[in-house]
Structure 1
């Protein structure tokens, strides 16, 4: 089972990748070089690790997190 600490570390790494790509840079994580073209993969990984973190913090139950845009 993945611990909350492990999930948080992975989530932090993917959030850093997202920030770097948003600044129009490439980013390397676990030997893979990611560029702006990989933004969709970065988003999928962020969603995945958010779910793992939520599950670890909630005794293994996965919570669905939704985001909206305020107008």
Structure 2
């Protein structure tokens, strides 16, 4: 029996297909500006800056410094 190639595996799993929006209704809810997610957004911004510093990467000029950075 022949082993399926990578493209065949991708097709079987549905990768690369455009699926109806109804398939993933939660993926269309942008919570970035909701106040109850502000703490999460702040933690993620600080984590991004910290990771960039750790690998010697400079933030993009348009990337504001998080206000909670020490």
- Classify the TM-score, shorter chain: 0.3 to 0.5
User: Which structure shows the higher strand fraction?
Assistant: 1
Which has the higher relative contact order, 1 or 2, with Cα contacts under 8 A spaced 6 or more apart? 1
User: Which structure shows the higher helix fraction?
Assistant: 1
Q: Radius of gyration: which is bigger?
A: 2
Q: Using structure 2 for the length normalisation, give the TM-score.
A: 0.35
Q: Using structure 1 for the length normalisation, give the TM-score.
A: 0.35
